[in-house]
Amino acid sequence: MLDKTLIGKSFPALVVDVDKWQLKFFAKAVGEENPIYFDEEAAIAEGYRSILAPPTYGVTLGCAVPDPFARAKAVGLDASKILHTAQSFEYFEPICGGDKITLVATITKVFEKRKGAFKFMVEETVATNQLDQLTTRFRQTVVERT
């Protein structure tokens, strides 16, 4: 059951290898044309370790799980009744091809509206690379209609 006792609960870390081919595919899909997203030599010349990931690529790493609703289910949310209502991103160090990214999600806020008819959960995911550098912080809010 979703309640305030869950605030601070962290889920098991997810470790994802960043594939250069996926970065190129994603960059093309979002309309990037800068060579740093496609050409390793160009990226290195600009000071990156390898091909650079476009800014929003990091959020896709959280999709590398067998069940995208597992965390919601683990806290008692009914996956058939939830809606993603908000999302924000903070960017720190770049994500590059060949990186190994560790994502840790933590519940940071739980609240209700309409006398409990809507239950909200705010989750923050912190992504760090193999150098233990913070790359990205994602926040998302989901709501369940009870």
Which domain CATH number covers 105?
3.10.129.10
In a domain, 38, yes or no: no
pTM for the model? 0.88
Over residues 52-91, the pLDDT tens digits come to 999 889 888 877 777 878 888 888 888 889 999 999 999 9
Kindly give, in sequence order, each residue whose CB lies less than 8 Å from that of residue 23, ignoring residues fewer than 6 positions away: 37, 51, 52, 53, 54, 57, 97
Residue 44 falls inside a structural domain:
no
11 within a domain of the structure (yes/no): yes
Domain assignment present for residue 31? The answer is no
| Number of domains into which the chain is organized | 1
Residue 114 lies in domain: 4-18+57-145
**pLDDT at residue 54 in the model:** 95
Mean pLDDT to the nearest integer, 15-30: 96
Tokens of 135: 């790359």
Q: Is residue 141 part of a domain?
A: yes
Residue 46 belongs to a domain: no
